Amino acid sequence: MNETQASLSPKRWFALAAVCFGLFMALLDVTIVNVALPTIQEEFETGFSDLEWVLNAYTLIFAVALITVARLGDLFGRKKFFMIGLIVFSIGSLLCALAPSILFLNISRGIQGLGASAMMSLSMAIISTTFFGKERGIAFGVWGSVSGLATAIGPLVGGVLVEKINWESIFYINIPIGIIALFMAFFYIKETKDEETAKTIDFWGLLLITSAVFCLVYGLIEVNQPDLGWSSPEILALLAGSLISFIVFILVELRLKVPMVNPRIFKNLSYSGACIAAFSLSAGVYALFFYLTLLLQNYYGYTALETGIRFITISGFALFLGPISGMLTNKVGTKPLISGALAILSIAVFMMTVVSSESETWAALIPAFLMAGIGNGIVNPPISTTAVDTVPNRIVGMASGVNNVSRQIGIAFGTAFLGAILSNQYVNKIETNINALSEIPEEAKQDIIDGVSSAGPIAGSQGLQGAGSEAYQNMPGFSKIQTIAETAFVNSLDQVFITSGVILALGAILSFVFIRRKDFSHNEE
């Protein structure tokens, strides 16, 4: 089928719907689980470290498998591997809902992540080979709407399901959606593959890129463990292993005729700009959702459902701004949309520093959330368009896989880096202010500082819950300790917001410098 025939086929819009169903499930499960964690912890009577892996198992496998399944889709059929991803994700969801233990749940989350990696990476490739001309911009606009909405609406959907039904329902809901998407994909998605390349698998490339991404993402996940840190031998070894694997990977891939990822793709500055923009967006905005959830749910005292409703101010714009942004890419190009949206997001995040004022409430955040919603609604479609329109059609799966890995590494890096900043600021403020309290005996101060600090910033957001507070309750200065912890948490968020704002500002500048109209090949060699 040529481009003209493809553009006239009504099946293309049903194919887009199938892709969006899969994309929605994959991204929704990144955030929907957050609000269910307290219930899961209570049911399985598990510790916090095991609970963290409910999130991390999904993120880790998702990031590690993205490039591999994307390239396999290029070689053996994008429709085929997208459907395999739907099946694996749906099976993983069922296993999560039926999990008899926290270990079983975490393994099942990894299975979900494997399926999601195929759906996420190949969704862009399928759109790129299904739509052409102006319709491609519209299709990516819809893709961007679904992407932004799924990421931000997760806490709301999770809150409704957990409060009204049970925590298992957040996984059961994926099964009927997955079945619908599978049937639509089978009937409406056209099979495409890289017909110009021999069907050989680059096993060395697969091994090296898997090792590089695993070491990097796992290191970023583990860096904020209480007994570790950026300078700990374990973290340094993981980061060094990742760097060495990446270097060897590049050297090996440059010598192969059919590489897993051709490093020369980054010689295209516009494509590199799209990857930088994707990384900045994830590190500066999507990694921030966890800390905003802490602020709203624990510090301001909203329920999971009430917190999710307030996130609509960010996610709602994606519904109608995504398609508009997609159409505008054909008129004004992707550069002004990407750099402009990242600049808007940067300003919005800087505006969130108002929370450090003790007199401020949730209402003070509304202007920042609305501005962030506008930026989030605009930015995703042009990033996706740039990532696939600046490379040859035969490698769009690989290109979209690399771009999506940039997103996942951005989330992992942002969560780790922002968490380290928050923890460092929090501990310093706790130590300074508790040492200044005259009501507490000097010999007790260090034990109190250690207890509050070891619980981490979440203790400050919860008013010392989980910080061993029963040991301090009979002390004259207990109420002041609680106030200090809460104030330290919200004041420390200032530095988190400033850091996120800087990351987004750098992304805006670099994408403006790198992205060039002349690099857009429209999928031609």
pLDDT of 358 > 60? The answer is no
pLDDT of 150 > 70? The answer is yes
pLDDT of 368 > 50? The answer is yes
The candidate with the shortest Cα–Cα distance to 281, out of 387, 130, 128, 209, is 387
pLDDT tens profile 382-406: 887 888 777 776 677 677 777 877 8
Confidence band, pLDDT 50/70/90 cuts, at residue 379: confident
Q: What are phi and psi of 361, to 5 degrees?
A: -125, -170
Q: By three-state DSSP, how is residue 67 classified?
A: helix
pLDDT at residue 90 in the model: 92
pLDDT of 195 > 70? The answer is no
Q: Does this model's pTM top 0.85? A: no
DSSP 295-306: IIIIIS---HHH
The candidate with the shortest Cα–Cα distance to 260, out of 188, 204, 184, 304, is 204
pLDDT of 194 > 80? The answer is no
Q: How far are the Cα atoms of 36, 243, 463 from residue 457, in angstroms, in the given order?
A: 20, 31, 10
pLDDT at residue 188 in the model: 84
CB 149 within 8 A of CB 319: yes
pLDDT of 237 > 80? The answer is yes
pLDDT tens profile 239-259: 898 899 888 888 887 887 767
pLDDT of 15 > 50? The answer is yes
Q: Give mean pLDDT, residues 312-335.
A: 75
pLDDT tens profile 157-192: 777 887 778 888 888 888 888 888 888 888 888 887
Q: What are phi and psi of 101, to 5 degrees?
A: -150, 165
pLDDT at residue 524 in the model: 43
pLDDT tens profile 275-292: 999 999 988 988 887 788
Residue 469: Cβ-neighbour burial (10 angstroms; 0-12, 13-18, 19+): buried
pLDDT at residue 327 in the model: 75
Q: Give mean pLDDT, residues 190-209.
A: 72
pLDDT of 236 > 60? The answer is yes
pLDDT of 472 > 60? The answer is no
pLDDT of 444 > 80? The answer is no
pLDDT at residue 505 in the model: 95
pLDDT at residue 346 in the model: 95
- E-strand stretches of 399-443: none
CB 487 within 8 A of CB 360: no
Angle formed at CA 80 by CA 282 and CA 277, multiple of 5 degrees: 15
Residues 333-364, buried b or exposed e (16+ Cβ, 10 A)? bbbebbbbbbbbbbbbbbbbbbbeeeeeebee
Structure tokens at 63: 């990031």
Q: By three-state DSSP, how is residue 150 classified?
A: helix
Name, of 41-55, 98-112, 430-444, the range with top average pLDDT: 98-112
Q: Identify which has the larger pLDDT, 48 or 259.
A: 259
The candidate with the shortest Cα–Cα distance to 345, out of 387, 391, 303, 283, is 283
pLDDT at residue 446 in the model: 63
pLDDT of 381 > 70? The answer is yes
What amino acid is encoded at 344 in this protein? I
Structure tokens at 396: 């769009």
Name the average pLDDT for the chain. 77
Name, of 4-8, 42-46, 458-462, the range with top average pLDDT: 42-46
